[in-house]
Copies of this chain bind each other. A is one copy, B any other.
Amino acid sequence: MDQPEPTAPRGTLIDGVIETVRRRIASRSLTPGAKLPSVRAFARSAGVSTSTVVEAYERLAAEGAIRSRPGSGFYVESALAPLSLSDLGPRLDREVDPFWISRQSLEAEPGVLTPGCGWLPPSWMPEAGLRRALRTLARGEAESLTDYGPPLGFAPLRRLLSRRFADHGVEAPPDQIVLAESGTQAIDLLCRFLLEPGDTVLLDDPCYFNFHALLRAHRAKIVGVPYGPNGPDLERFAEACREHRPRLYMTNSAIHNPTGASLSPVVAHRLLKIAEEADLTIVEDDIFADLGDPSAPCLAAFDGLSRVVQVGSFSKTLSASVRCGYIAAPADWIEDLVDLRIATSFGGGRLSAELLHALLKDGGYRRHVEALRVRLAEATGETARRLKAVGVVPWIEPRAGMFLWCRLPEGVDASETARRALTEDVVLAPGDAFSLSRTAGGFMRFNVAQSGDPRLYDVLGRAMQAA
């Protein structure tokens, strides 16, 4: 706590106390509803008189920052200030707020180009298969249409997922798989299960921007580790483990968002060793894995679901409208995970799970993702070529996936470029939205499946020039 000069005039001393309290509220060392130190205790520790503290508290109460409870003391006001995620961290520029890209992408009207969004356009999705699955369900059992699902989720889908895990080298029996409402909700459930407020979580820098938002909602402390072309910087990773004693590390390994990089086997192996020494749990969000090489390494395969828990969904390959995610976790977590899921979302999304199962079981899925991989590889080459023509250079040539993480020309600010492009109906994904350290101001993520329209490159070129 900053200690005001005891020799300063009384007005300054009062302001000093007010400022100190405000700072402690802003930094959440005093959380809403918390009791402030007693007048006497504060006066003693700050080296000022009790009347100075009384006056400071009363002014803070008058402006609504704290509240007096007769006979009990002063409390940080909370009733009028519901939790706002934007208050939980430093106030970011609206351009690179973690929600900027989500909101702009989700709100985009027809005609708006969305190379900044993180999913495939409808024309890339298996529309005919989805229509077929809906018609199948329309003829199905009444229970499928009306009733809650079982606690772990629709069993045939969990059996199918178990076989898919086996194909990727992960031994996850169906009763170690829990369905969730979506991939995001699966991660959220794990955070609830594993984190206490104030726990530290390691994230890649850059990483998927929504990890930041999600972890702030859990009041976690986030520590970033620089991400390179083969995975996180291991020296910095080990250092962060020693220094911050994190509870969790959250990452995408098969295809990294936003960089498109893949974890190399040697990095995966060393990472797990460090995690073991630090007693660190890893949440591996493998939501893009099906777009990559099926034999690409994932941490869960190396580790065997002891320290690594894997999460996924089909929102990137089948449908984002049909919500369903899943978790493969250690056997002794399952009971408590399911209790927590029932408490917070009750009976699972049976219709969605049955729809996905109908789509997945007919073998068309494998052909669909193979076709997607070919189409994405072509679009990646084409998009890289066109971006280079306007001076935007991919950081790496990714082996798979939908993302190109690119460096803008020297001196061009990505956030400002994105803001300008938005006025011309193009939603871009500026680098700093993905970067905790905000060191990616010269980078931008492009979704190659959403970058086919030539108008993008005109708008981008103009916006960069203006920025």
Contact = CB atoms under 8 A, between A and B. Distances in A.
A63 B427 CA distance: 55
B103 A342 contact: yes
Interface stretch (A178-186, A394-402, A457-465): A178-186
Contact of A122 (B132, B146, B151, B193): B146
A192 interface: yes
Contacts of A355: 351
Contacts of A83: 192-194, 196, 336, 340
Interface string A204-227: 000000100110110000000000
Q: How many copies of the chain does the oligomer comprise?
A: 2
Contact of A145 (B247, B319, B346): B319
11 contacts: A83-B192, A83-B340, A84-B339, A99-B342, A107-B151, A145-B322, A181-B349, A197-B197, A213-B339, A323-B323, A323-B352
**Among A142, A145, A321, A355: residue with most chain B CB under 10 A:** A321
Contact of A279 (B79, B98, B351): B79
A127 B145 CA distance: 7
B99 A123 contact: no
A85 B339 contact: yes
B245 A69 contact: yes
Contact of A146 (B106, B138, B321, B352): B321
Interface in A114-153: 119, 122-123, 125, 127, 130-132, 134-135, 137-139, 142-151
A149 B106 contact: yes
Given A125-B146, A145-B319, A349-B352, A342 B106 contact: yes
A452 interface: no
**Among A86, A315, A345: residue with most chain B CB under 10 A:** A345
